[in-house]
């Protein structure tokens, strides 16, 4: 790469004030994973008893760290999280498994955690063995310097081709006591021969047992990280984890096990908002993105059908290039609805760009206004709405446009 890429035009204009989470401390450092003197390790320390939940790539060829996290999550306890950039430790065979084990061992020694309570994530080049001995000595120093407020440093340490660090936070009440949620994410940028990976780590001082935490996370991810797409491709390393230290219990917050589930309404709302915020930031930093696109499908046979149709629209290269060209090409929306394979009636479809209804009852809207539509298509954010008028299913997904810059970023290595 010829130096850092310019910050995405869709980046948020400011960062939120990120509050400390009781029981969580961050440290970042340079372990020389791929380049010398580049920040490439994030260590997160969590207090004893921290509960853990996770959602991972659906890839049938997951990376070694993903296999590790899935296995260790069965216990649901976390004390340390180590994330490195520079090397994804993916497609590295048995050596990859060994280096994950060695990294966990080093992290346990440095932090005093049990190996079962160490979680690992890696992003960067694939197919190259990760030399975990590079963590040796580095992690001890990080433990000594860990501090609660270092959110932006943490978010920056896990960036690869992201053009801005991604953080989000929200407050919630559980049993009348305020708890805090904060999280970081990195997005789906990739440069040869690196592979994109979506990583996100979210922390709270709420006292919620691991099985409940897992349910909350699995549900919340459907409307956030599982409702975004850059280019329909899926990394072998995608990892989203949620950690609950339980420190708010000392301030009187109830511990939520299977019984107190009904007290979680406000926490759910806050968790949804943090995950959605982070997920949308990932889209806003999509490679070559110039438009942030919201696709809303209504009136489908079911919510599941609506989501499949919405993703068919959001993943269509023809829809995405049309948006890049600021062209309200509703014919391509019809095409994408049709190819989704879900029930649709051609002659009931309505399609909107922003507030402008461009197609109605299977025909171009008689009141279609070219100038008004053109205005809508010039915006940074494009809202597409499709009403199928056959049922009550609905879903919203987010994506970005497909530009020549996307092709350049991913294809211009030899030219």
Residues within window 193-212 making contact with a copy of itself, judged by CB under 8 A: 193, 195-196
When asked if residue 300 is in the footprint of a copy of itself (CB under 8 A), the reply is no
Distance CA 175, CA 19 (A): 21
* Token representation of residue 225: 């990280």
When asked if residue 160 is in the footprint of a copy of itself (CB under 8 A), the reply is no
Which residue from 32, 148, 338, 391 is in contact with a copy of itself, where contact means CB under 8 A? 338
Give the count of residues interacting with a copy of itself (CB under 8 A). Answer: 74
Contact 77, 210 (CB under 8 A): yes
**Residues 91, 96, 100: CA angle, nearest 5 degrees:** 135
Which residue from 13, 36, 58, 262 is in contact with a copy of itself, where contact means CB under 8 A? 58
When asked if residue 266 is in the footprint of a copy of itself (CB under 8 A), the reply is no
Distance CA 318, CA 327 (A): 11
Distance CA 267, CA 51 (A): 16
When asked if residue 87 is in the footprint of a copy of itself (CB under 8 A), the reply is no
When asked if residue 165 is in the footprint of a copy of itself (CB under 8 A), the reply is no
Distance CA 415, CA 401 (A): 23
When asked if residue 362 is in the footprint of a copy of itself (CB under 8 A), the reply is yes
> 103-142: which residues touch a copy of itself (CB under 8 A)?
126-128
Distance CA 165, CA 18 (A): 13
SS (H, E, C) 233-292: CCCCCCEEEEEECCHHHHHCCCCECCHHHHHHHHHHHHHHHHHHHHHHHHHHCCCCCCCE
Question: Which residue, among 35, 33, 143, 162, has the nearest Cα to 81 in the 3D structure?
Answer: 143
Sign for the CA dihedral angle at 299, 301, 307, 310 comes to: negative
Residues facing residue 396 across a β-bridge: 296
Minimum CB distance to a copy of itself smaller for 124 or for 182: 124
Distance CA 237, CA 83 (A): 12
Indicate the DSSP class of residue 297.
E
Q: If DSSP codes are grouped into helix, strand and coil, which group holds residue 173?
A: strand
Distance CA 107, CA 117 (A): 10
Question: Which residue, among 38, 129, 57, has the nearest Cα to 89 in the 3D structure?
Answer: 129
> 363-402: which residues touch a copy of itself (CB under 8 A)?
363-364, 377, 401-402
**Catalytic residue list contains 197:** yes
Which residue from 93, 112, 137, 145 is in contact with a copy of itself, where contact means CB under 8 A? 93
The residue annotated as part of the active site, out of 28, 123, 197, 403, is 197
When asked if residue 341 is in the footprint of a copy of itself (CB under 8 A), the reply is yes
Minimum CB distance to a copy of itself smaller for 155 or for 334: 334
Minimum CB distance to a copy of itself smaller for 40 or for 401: 401
> 216-235: which residues touch a copy of itself (CB under 8 A)?
231-235
Q: Which stretch binds a copy of itself (CB under 8 A): 48-56, 147-155, 259-267, 331-339?
A: 331-339
Give the helix/strand (H/E) hosting 25. Answer: strand 24-29
Q: How far is the CB of 95 from a copy of itself (least distance, A)?
A: 8
When asked if residue 70 is in the footprint of a copy of itself (CB under 8 A), the reply is no
When asked if residue 190 is in the footprint of a copy of itself (CB under 8 A), the reply is yes
Phi, psi dihedrals of residue 362, rounded to the nearest 5°: 75, 20
Minimum CB distance to a copy of itself smaller for 177 or for 335: 335
Question: Which residue, among 319, 296, 316, 328, has the nearest Cα to 227 in the 3D structure?
Answer: 296
When asked if residue 403 is in the footprint of a copy of itself (CB under 8 A), the reply is yes
Which residue from 11, 20, 177, 335 is in contact with a copy of itself, where contact means CB under 8 A? 335
Which residue from 51, 57, 160, 204 is in contact with a copy of itself, where contact means CB under 8 A? 57
Q: Which stretch binds a copy of itself (CB under 8 A): 8-16, 204-212, 215-223, 310-318?
A: 310-318
Q: Which stretch binds a copy of itself (CB under 8 A): 23-31, 165-173, 189-197, 278-286?
A: 189-197
Contact 106, 139 (CB under 8 A): yes
Q: Which stretch binds a copy of itself (CB under 8 A): 166-174, 252-260, 346-354, 391-399?
A: 346-354
When asked if residue 9 is in the footprint of a copy of itself (CB under 8 A), the reply is no
Which residue from 10, 311, 337, 386 is in contact with a copy of itself, where contact means CB under 8 A? 337
Q: How far is the CB of 190 from a copy of itself (least distance, A)?
A: 7
Minimum CB distance to a copy of itself smaller for 167 or for 344: 344
Sign for the CA dihedral angle at 226, 231, 232, 235 comes to: negative
When asked if residue 304 is in the footprint of a copy of itself (CB under 8 A), the reply is no
* Token representation of residue 309: 């149709």
Catalytic residues: 197
């Amino acid at each position: 790469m010829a130096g850092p890429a310019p910050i995405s035009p869709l980046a948020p204009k400011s960062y939120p004030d990120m509050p400390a989470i009781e029981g969580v401390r961050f440290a970042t450092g340079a372990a020389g994973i791929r380049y010398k003197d580049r920040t490439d390790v994030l260590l997160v320390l969590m207090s004893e008893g921290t509960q853990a939940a996770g959602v991972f790539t659906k890839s049938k060829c997951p990376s070694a760290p993903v296999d590790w996290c899935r296995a260790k999550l069965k216990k649901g306890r976390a004390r340390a999280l180590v994330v490195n950039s520079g090397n994804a430790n993916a497609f590295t065979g048995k050596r990859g498994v060994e280096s994950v084990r060695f990294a966990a061992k080093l992290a346990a020694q440095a932090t005093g955690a049990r190996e079962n309570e160490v979680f690992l994530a890696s992003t960067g080049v694939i197919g190259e063995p990760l030399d975990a001995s590079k963590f040796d000595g580095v992690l001890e120093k990080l433990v000594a310097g860990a501090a609660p407020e270092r959110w932006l440093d943490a978010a920056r340490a896990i960036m690869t081709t992201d053009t801005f660090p991604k953080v989000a936070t929200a407050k919630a009440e559980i049993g009348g006591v305020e708890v805090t949620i904060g999280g970081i994410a990195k997005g789906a940028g990739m440069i040869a021969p690196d592979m994109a990976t979506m990583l996100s780590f979210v922390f709270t001082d709420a006292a919620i047992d691991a099985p409940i935490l897992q349910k909350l996370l699995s549900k919340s991810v459907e409307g956030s990280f599982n409702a975004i797409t850059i280019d329909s491709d899926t990394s072998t390393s995608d990892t989203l984890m949620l950690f609950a230290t339980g420190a708010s219990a000392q301030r009187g917050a109830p511990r939520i096990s299977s019984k107190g589930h009904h007290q979680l309404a406000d926490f759910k709302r806050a968790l949804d908002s943090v995950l959605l915020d982070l997920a949308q930031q990932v889209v806003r930093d999509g490679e070559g993105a110039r438009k942030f696109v919201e696709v809303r499908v209504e009136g489908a046979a079911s919510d599941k059908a609506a989501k499949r149709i919405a993703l068919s629209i959001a993943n269509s290269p023809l829809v995405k290039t049309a948006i890049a060209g600021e062209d309200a090409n509703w014919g391509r929306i019809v095409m994408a609805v049709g190819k989704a394979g879900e029930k649709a009636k051609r002659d009931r479809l309505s399609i909107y760009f922003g507030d402008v209804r461009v197609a109605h009852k299977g025909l171009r809207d008689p009141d279609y206004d070219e100038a008004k539509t053109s205005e809508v298509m010039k915006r940074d954010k494009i809202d597409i709405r499709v009403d199928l008028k056959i049922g009550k299913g609905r879903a919203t997904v987010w994506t970005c446009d497909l530009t020549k810059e996307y092709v350049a970023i991913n294809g211009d290595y030899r030219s």
